[in-house]
C-alpha cells in the first residue's frame, strides 16, 4: 500500500464532518470515495458531513443492514454503501456498484478497502484512525488510480488545516 498523500487530525466529530464537507467541494460526478477504519472510527459521521455539504437534507444513516442508501443533493446524488456484511465478491457485483459510480452521483463506500479489487476505476481512499483522545481522529488521504490525481493540489490544501488533534 502506498503512503497517504497527507494526514490530517481532527479533535471532534464536528471537525471530522467539516473535513468531509470541504472534501465534498472537490467532488465531481462519478467520483468514488472509499472510507476505511475500525468500527466507530467515524465513517458514517464523515459521510454525514459530506452529504450536508452536497445539499442533502434528509438524515444520513449507516447502511449497514440495507447495504446502500441514496440521498438527493442540490446537484448530485449521494450513494452511501456499507460493504461490511458482504461475504463474496459476487455480492459486490449484485449491488450494481459500477452503475452507481457511472451515474449522476458521488459514491462513498464504507469498508471499501475490503472490495478494492472489485471497484471500478480509481478512487480516493480516506482512512480514519482513532487518535489519543476520545474524539480525536487521524484521516489519511490516498489517491488510487488517476480519477482524483488532477485534484491533488486541492486535497493538499484541504489537509493543510485541521482542528488541532
Domains of the chain: 6-159 (3.40.50.300)
Give per-residue pLDDT as tens, 38-56: 988 999 999 999 999 999 9
pLDDT of residue 92: 58
Question: What is the largest distance, in Å, between two alpha-carbon atoms of the chain?
Answer: 42
Give per-residue pLDDT as tens, 147-164: 898 999 999 888 786 554
**Is the separation of the CB atoms in 83 and 66 below 8 Å?**
no
pLDDT of residue 165: 47
CA dihedral 136, 35, 6, 144 (to 10 degrees): 170
Tell me the CA distances in angstroms from 80 to 152, 153, 161, 163, one per residue in order.
23, 26, 26, 26
Provide CB contacts within 8 A for 102, sequence distance 6+. Answer: 30, 120
pTM of the model: 0.87
- H helix or E strand, kind and range, residue 70: strand 68-72
- H helix or E strand, kind and range, residue 36: strand 32-37
- H helix or E strand, kind and range, residue 98: helix 97-102
SS3 17: helix
Average confidence score pLDDT of the chain: 85
- Dihedral sign, CA of 66, 109, 53, 44? positive
Number of H helices, E strands in the chain: 5, 7
Sole residue written with cell 483522545: 133
Amino acid at each position: 500500500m502506498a503512503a497517504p498523500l497527507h494526514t490530517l487530525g481532527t479533535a471532534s466529530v464536528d471537525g471530522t464532518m467539516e473535513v468531509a464537507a470541504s472534501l465534498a467541494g472537490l467532488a465531481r460526478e462519478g467520483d468514488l470515495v472509499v472510507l476505511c477504519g475500525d468500527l466507530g472510527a467515524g465513517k458514517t459521521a464523515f459521510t454525514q458531513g459530506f452529504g450536508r455539504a452536497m445539499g442533502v437534507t434528509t438524515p444520513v444513516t449507516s447502511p449497514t443492514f440495507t447495504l446502500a442508501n441514496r440521498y438527493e443533493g442540490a446537484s448530485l446524488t449521494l450513494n452511501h454503501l456499507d460493504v461490511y456484511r458482504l461475504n463474496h465478491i459476487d455480492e459486490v457485483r449484485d449491488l450494481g456498484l459500477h452503475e452507481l459510480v457511472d451515474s449522476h452521483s458521488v459514491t462513498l463506500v464504507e469498508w471499501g478497502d475490503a472490495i478494492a479489487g472489485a471497484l471500478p476505476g480509481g478512487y480516493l481512499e480516506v482512512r480514519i484512525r482513532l487518535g489519543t483522545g476520545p474524539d480525536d481522529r487521524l484521516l489519511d488521504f490516498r489517491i488510487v488510480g488517476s480519477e482524483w490525481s488532477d485534484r491533488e493540489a486541492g486535497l493538499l490544501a484541504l489537509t493543510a488545516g485541521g482542528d488541532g488533534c
